[in-house]
Structure 1
Amino acid sequence: MTTTIYTNATVFTADTDGTTTGAFAVTDGKFSAVGSVERVREVVGKTVTEVDLRGRFIAPGIIDSHTHLASFGTALGKAQLRDCQTLGEIQDRLLQWLDQNPGAPRVLGGGWLFDSVGDTHPTAAMLDEVLPDIPVYLDANDLHSTWVNSAALREAGIDRDTPNPVGGEIARNAAGEATGLLYETAGRKYARDFLERISTPQDHVQALELAFDAYLRSGVTSVTDMALTEAEITALRTILARDGRLPFPITGHVLMVAQPDLDENEAQVSRTVDLRDELSTSGEDRWFRIAGVKFIMDGVIDAKTATMCCPYADGTNADPIWDAERMKPVAATADAAGLQIAMHAIGDRTSEIAIEVLEHCAAENRSDIRSRRHRVEHLETVTDDTIRRMAELGTVASMQPVHSDPAIMENWKAVLGDERQERGFPWHKFRDAGIPMTLGTDAPTAPHEALPNLYIALTGGSSLSPSLPPYHPERAFTPAEALTALTAGGAYAGHMDSTGQIRPGFQANFIELDVNPLEVDPREILEAEVVATYVLGERTHTSTTDKN
């Protein structure tokens, strides 16, 4: 048995009282004592090692409670378009990427914003101007639309007769020809699924390895992957079989693809149950556990594909991908099987439907709905009545501060066009209602780094353009609230009941920071560094500036 005592630190434990202490001990990958250095020495007794942390700030490891691990890793190798403000900048960035990747069979990019091409939506012709012959696939910043050129339309087999899938749309002109924008499930079916099919198993493994490395450098020690596909599950199990472990534990939700037939939808639930049980029987769930299913119920506000109680500024609205009638029996089956239900709901009408679904599950199964910790993801717009009903059901609010970065909100506000543009992201109302909260990033739809996410949670400001005025800073979190939501909140939301806090018996996942977020001006957090990351007591990342 090996024990190490860590001393001379400000240790934020993420306990409910928000207090700090000065020392802790780790024994065989778990915290064995926490408190004053005298108390820790007394509890532990004889030790092998004692480490002086030189006054550093220590917190539980960050849990990114909503991410897309393989997509994030893949995105790291694509042309990065989030900072492009004009079509010309996008075109130049794509040409630069192709120059840096000679011989690439396709140009891949991600992160583009709708307002970067002006008042009109993107078209294939815009890309054909500079890349007419090589297929181009560009994920929107929110991953809910895919912009392609004419060569990609041909490669993916999209023509005037290609049908729209359930919950998706192929943008077309008056003549019925595809114009180059694939909304929602059309982007998944005809672009992302196509690219996944032509990828090799090793491509998926390499993407995951890139994501793991980036997250460890950011202080993340566990994630909830929110839309797992069969290929991604296979890649995770491949790494686990090869190495006997993963770089950090993962909880996953299997993506539910909306089908017109109830039996097809319920078959997806059955497959998820089989996967969950298989991982449990094999012991793989120590590192990779299937917790539940993920329903993408609507789209996003920027593309006007989120379902709203009232129409957008131009008078349009969108139908949900999963309406109540289609979803209720499927969700009830998942709930009865003990699966956690996670629901992407951005529009205020969609979050109403999500709560209707959970109320149906509670009535149908007569289950302890609170113990399930079912989740609603994003909640960018939400009614007060929905918040009240969430509190009654014990539903987890899973939100991403990086989605409210003022640098990406101009189009978001414009398409709403009325007082709703100032009512978004009502974090304070969830806190006041006592709703369990967790904060993630939804990478790669937003930057994955934990500290910029924390900065936005504390200020409502922009980590991308810090000079911009904040978006309703009165709704922001206190440092203790935000850190708890990033750590213990993620553990609660993910049923990770032995991590997320610095507490005896819990997994020794923790980070060292070179600033104290509880005390410094939040602007210093943007320049702060994760000095070290520890998973099960093992240092898995050390910054280049740390000489300890």
Structure 2
Amino acid sequence: MSTLYTNARFWSSGKEIFHDLLVKDSLILAVGEDVKNFPAETTIDLDDAFVIPAFLEGHAHPIFAGREAAGPKINGITSIEEIKTQVKAFADANPSITWIIGGAYEAAIVEGGDFDAKWLDEVVSDRPVVLHAVDHHTIWVNSKALELAGITSATKDPQGGTIARNSDGSAKGTLREPSAMALVLDHAPANTLESDIAAIKYACKEYRKVGVIAAIDSWCEKDMARAYIAAAQTKELTIAFNLSLLATPTTWSGDIDDFNEIREQCLELDNSSQLQANSIKFLLDGALSAGTAHLMQPYVDDPTSHGIAIWSDEELLNALVAYDALQYQVHLHAIGDAAVKQALDALEAMQGINPTWDRRPVIVHAQLIRDEDLPRFAQLGVIANIQPLWCYLDPMNKELIAPRIGNERNNQQYRLRSMLNAGAMIAFGSDWPVTSHVPMQAIGVPVTRSNPADGVTQAWVIEEALTMDESLTFYTKNAAYQLFRENEYGDLEVGKRAAFLVLDSDPAQNPAAKIIELVS
């Protein structure tokens, strides 16, 4: 079956606008004037619509998003009282749920971001409550959760994490970074295969609605990977997924055999391109909002702290060398400038040890980068995965991060133009559910360095802005390259899958353009 899509403005990175596209058996057969060389069985007039390739998601946590959607929804709420109201309503409506887990609250609504367990106790005291902050490096819990976890004034901060405390040393109710969060979450009921498959199906449905055709789950634990495999076996994946399997300093070497088995199981699927497990996730530091991102210079609000380095240099290099030798792509979370330097140093050393191959290493977030480290991305072939919806002065940057690091460093975040000038390749990802998974809400933000939809019209460091062509490229062509899917997606080229979005207008003229249809 061949279908001619005509009377449209087709955009594809690096090409002139063309007006016709011919599809046969879900693949692009011809574009532009070349469509005249082939017969078309069906013709669809797109009425001068603007058409772009479908988006690809270069950094997200889809299962976490699906899990979070099953709890109280507090995204976007701007007061403690409103959050408490939502939590109480959820608890009253779900009396049989033993642990109430939801998110994601805006930490900036409380000075310093330290939330008190007693506030949640006022609405739910008989069951543990755990709420994730929007940075997903922080949780706010009630007293019952602290009690069940056995957290007291005598409990020490775990390595790589912190427990916010009252003046008497008792836990206040806010815990930061995975090691501290685990003190509570390890006591919560375990997620099941069935619940995680439901979360994956939710994520697929939400992604398709917003025009995302392929995504990476960039914090994939072993049981989560098995849920993806089960969903693929029952044909419940409606978009393609890459899995980035989580390595930690204490477990990475013992996980190698399991990760190899997961990768092999993906290769044995009927449609092996639908699910790939070729990436390893490394969490090098925390978040600026939590005061745990690793910085070269100390925090303004705590001159004794440079944040947290989760990996030692030696352990990180050993793990990178081992996984790279097995031809896994590495995906390193690094937010602070010290973490970015550590990532680049380790990747450079790794490349000096292992043979060359098409490795495409990724550093995700890269919010603060030293001038001398900017050119190293291109020199080492490192892809910088950036979250476009963060590239404006939002409440978190203005109210929480700036007081921690000072305005000068705050204004050095997301140096996208500087990165491009230094030759770096940039791909985009949302970090969903940390922020919205909707690309059309994000692509205009790094262009204007503002976000009128959020009420912020003042540009933030406009000299670091992108063009709309660049922004679209980073969410299509470059994201496809990052995911090793450039032969399937990312461009409107002959031979690639016919996955494209029909928009009601040109995003360059109207960043709030709407998706009319996803063709795939």
2:339 aligned residue: 350
2-side partners of 1:65 and 1:108: how far apart?
26
Q: Is the 8 A contact 1:62 1:450 kept in 2?
A: yes
Residues 157 and 534 of structure 1: CA distance in aligned 2, closer, same or farther (over 3 Å): farther
* Residue from 485, 491, 497 that aligns with 2:486: 497
Equivalents in 1 of 2:246, 2:126: separation in Å? 33
Residues 405 and 95 of structure 1: CA distance in aligned 2, closer, same or farther (over 3 Å): farther
Report Cα offsets for 1:495-521 as digits up to 9, x if no partner: 112111111111221111111113x14
1:249 equivalent to 2:248? Answer no
Do residues 224 (structure 1) and 209 (structure 2) align?
no
Q: Residues 149-192 of structure 1, C-alpha deviation per residue, up to 9 Å, x if partnerless? A: 11112334444565644422333446553332221123552344
Distance 1:115 1:282 in 2: 44
Q: Which moved more, 1:286-295 or 1:411-420?
A: 411-420
- The answer to whether residue 123 in structure 2 is matched with residue 136 in structure 1 is no
The amino acid of 2:178's aligned partner reads T
Written as runs of structure 1 = structure 2, the 5 A alignment for 1:95-114 is: 95-114=88-107
Partners of 2:281 and 2:5 in 1: CA distance? 40
Structure-1-length-normalised TM-score: 0.89
**What pairs with 1:280-319 in structure 2 (closer than 5 Å)?**
280-314=267-301, 315=303, 316-319=305-308
Measured at CA, do residues 269 and 20 of structure 1 come closer, stay the same or move farther in structure 2, by a change above 3 Å? Answer: farther
Equivalence for 1:213: 205
Q: Counterpart amino acid of 1:211?
A: A
Which segments of 5 or more consecutive residues in structure 2 lack a partner in the other structure?
none
Q: Which residue of 2 aligns with 1:531?
A: 516
Residue pair 1:269, 1:293 contacting (<8 A) in 2 also = no
Deviation at 1:282, TM superposition (A): 3.8
- Partner of residue 545, structure 1: none
Which of 217, 223, 227 aligns to 1:235? It is 227
Provide, for residues 178-215 of structure 1, a one-character-per-residue CA deviation record: whole Å limited to 9, x for no partner.
332221123552344544x5223221111111111111
Quickly say closer, same or farther: Cα 1:463–1:272, change in 2 above 3 A. farther
Q: Please state if 1:386 is matched with 2:342.
A: no
- Aligned letter for 1:422? N
Q: Which amino acid aligns with 2:388?
A: P
Q: CA deviation at 1:318?
A: 1.5
Between the aligned partners of 1:164 and 1:55, the Cα distance in structure 2 is 59
Structure 1 residues 385, 271: CA separation in 2 closer, same or farther (over 3 Å shift)? farther
Check the 8 A contact 2:340/2:366 in 1, yes or no: yes
Farther-moved stretch of structure 1 (458-467 vs 25-34)? 458-467
Partner of 2:443: 454
Equivalent position of 1:31 in the other structure: 28
- Tell me which residue corresponds to 2:405: 416
1:506 aligned partner: 496
The answer to whether structure 1 residue 330 and structure 2 residue 319 are counterparts is: yes
Does the C-alpha gap of structure 1 residues 11 and 193 become closer, same or farther in structure 2, counting only changes over 3 Å? farther
CA distance in 2, matches of 1:238, 1:463: 41
Contact 2:72 2:102 in 1 (8 A): yes
Q: 1:119: how far off?
A: 4.0
What is the CA RMSD across the aligned residues, in angstroms? Answer: 2.0
Partners of 2:214 and 2:239 within 8 A in 1: yes
- Normalised by the size of structure 2, how large is the TM-score? 0.94
Q: Specify the code of the residue in structure 1 equivalent to 2:68.
A: A
Range that drifts further, 304-313 or 114-123: 114-123
Q: Per the alignment, do residues 100 and 465 of structure 1 end up closer, same or farther by CA in structure 2, a change over 3 Å counting?
A: farther
Q: Which residue of 2 aligns with 1:400?
A: 387
2:73, 2:229 → 1: CA distance? 29
Match in the other structure for 1:40: 35
Partners of 2:185 and 2:417 in 1: CA distance: 36
Aligned identity (percent) is 27
Q: What SS class does the counterpart of residue 413 from structure 2 fall into?
A: coil
Partner residue, 1:542: none
1:477-505 Cα shifts (integer Å, max 9, x gaps): 11111111000010111111211111111
String of CA shifts for 1:451-472, please: whole Å, max 9, x gaps: 1111212211125523442322
- State the shift of 1:531 in Å: 1.1
Aligned residues: 515
* Offset at residue 448 of structure 1 (A): 1.0
